[in-house]
Amino acid sequence: MRVVSLFSGIGGLELGFHSKGYSPLLFCEIDPIAQTILKNRFANADHHSDIKELKSIPECEVITAGFPCQDLSQAGGKVGINGHRSGLVHHLFSLLSKLRKKNRPEWLVIENVPYMLRLDQGKAMSVLTSQIASLGYRWAYRVVDARSFGIPQRRHRVLLVASKSEDPGGVLFADNYDEPELDGKPSEIDEAAVYGFYWTEGSRGVGWAKEGVPPIKCGSTLGIASPPAVWIPSQDYVGTIAIEDAERLQGFPEGWTNFLDYGVTAKPSLRWRLVGNAVSTAISTWVSERLIAPGQPQVDYRPLSNRSSWPNAAYGDANGQWQVMSTRWASSNRQQKISDFLNMPLSPLSARATQGFLKRARGCTNVVYSPRFLESLEKHTETMSG
Active-site residue set: 69
Neighbours of 167 (CB within 10 A): 19
> Would you say 75 and 207 are in contact if contact means Cβ atoms under 8 Å apart?
no
User: Concatenated DSSP letters for 224-279?
Assistant: ---PPEEEEGGGTEEEE--HHHHHHHTTPPTTTT-GGGGT--S-GGGHHHHHHTSP
Q: Tell me if residue 302 falls in helix, strand or coil.
A: strand
> Would you say 162 and 108 are in contact if contact means Cβ atoms under 8 Å apart?
yes
Question: What is the layout of strands, in order, in the sheet containing 138-145?
Answer: 46-48, 23-28, 2-6, 62-65, 107-112, 156-163, 138-145, 313-317, 320-324, 301-303
Convert 154-164 to b/e letters by CB count within 10 Å (16 or more is b). bbebbbbbbbe
CA gap 222, 10 in Å, rounded? 19
- CB proximity list for 159: less than 8 A, separation 6 or greater: 109, 110, 111, 141, 142, 143, 144, 172, 283, 287
Among residues 179, 232, 268, 190, the alpha carbon closest in space to that of 342 is found at 232
- CB proximity list for 193: less than 8 A, separation 6 or greater: 210, 211, 233
